[in-house]
Amino acid sequence: MSLDQTQQNAATACRAQSPTGCQAHTRLYRAGELVAEGFEVCDISDHLAEPDTVVWLDLLKPSASDMGVVVEEFGLHPLAIEDALQEQQRPKIDRYPDHAFLTAYAVSCAPGDLLLHTGEIAAFITSRALVTVRKDDLLELQPLLDRWDSTPELTKSGVAFLAHGLVDHLVDGQSAAVSLLDDEAEELEDLLFDEQQTGGDLQRRSFALRKSLTQLRRAVLPMRDVLATMLRPDLGLADERMAPYLRDVDDHVQRSAADIDGLRDLLATILDTNLTLASNRLNETVFRLTAYAAILAVTTAFTGYFGQNVPFPGSEQTSGFVASTVLLVGSVVLLFTFFKRKGWL
């Protein structure tokens, strides 16, 4: 059997065996033009053998055996493969001799919903390929593909163009989440002085917002170091064409980080103000109860005095009854007016 026949049989077997059991997406760029997509994973090495080609491969929830196929195709570092399979990695970018490894998070927060959803993304960045590993399906591919297709003038930058589109898409989602949480914080500010709003609901929403804000902070703040590394010339991602776009993404990250810090301070102020208002309401309640108790004490004193079994001016006479009634009503009106002017009633 000839060598060509052996290669053809191997290629046929590769397609039949479907080397990755997970869902996979592929794209091929040649000379800055999109020429193919949806091809077999086992064809990637053949495409990379051609000059001036760049490949994108996306894997959804891959297993260890699926990642083994990727290792064979790209020769990735085992430590990077281990990080790509493990959950809850910190956003970072690690550099290896022949590729870089990126970890970041896609975030989603619906308007009016304080629950923040995060999806972990791992990416291998080589000189001619971008391999993305999605550990869940939170990140939808179509908006990312639309972002890439909307800037065809940048495709000649190759992998730098693909990496920028991915990071820019993730950062824009994080910025949108920050904006939604900021709107929720403003609503909480308005509820502080709403007399019909219960304190329990305000505290519940405040703590839910604080939890989501903490999650978002963990996803956003490390991206500052990621962008700083991507902007380094020796990584090869910030060429003359892509450097301004990466700096723009870095500006968005810095702005989101500053907004998150501001929201944390605002949320702390809301909680402190809520406690202060609750304390003030308690003091007002105590003042009112004290004032009413004083009024009742005066009336009790008069009625107790006139009810004694001793003679007193007007006892058992109409004039005595009128005098006691006038004293009772007059003392109540006088005390009520006094407390009202003090603001205790």
Of 183, 174, 155, 180, the residue nearest 250 (C-alpha): 174
3-class secondary structure, 20: coil
3-class secondary structure, 15: helix
H or E element: which one contains 35? strand 33-37
Is the distance from CB of 126 to CB of 45 less than 8 angstroms? no
State pTM to two decimals: 0.75
Instruction: Let me know if 90 is exposed, middle or buried by CB neighbors in 10 A (0-12, 13-18, 19+).
Output: exposed
pLDDT tens digits, 188-231: 877 777 666 655 677 788 888 888 899 999 999 999 999 999 99
Cα→Cα distances 339→161, 279, 300, Å: 74, 20, 18
pLDDT at site 176: 92
pLDDT at site 146: 93
pLDDT tens digits, 36-64: 999 888 888 888 888 889 999 999 998 88
List the helix and strand counts (H, then E) for the chain: 10, 7
Is the distance from CB of 73 to CB of 41 less than 8 angstroms? yes
pLDDT along the chain (345 residues), means of 10: 37 40 88 89 87 92 85 84 88 91 91 82 93 91 92 90 94 92 84 66 81 91 94 85 93 94 86 74 76 74 62 65 77 79 68
Contacts of residue 100, Cβ cutoff 8 Å, sequence gap at least 6: 93, 94, 124, 125, 235
H or E element: which one contains 124? strand 117-125
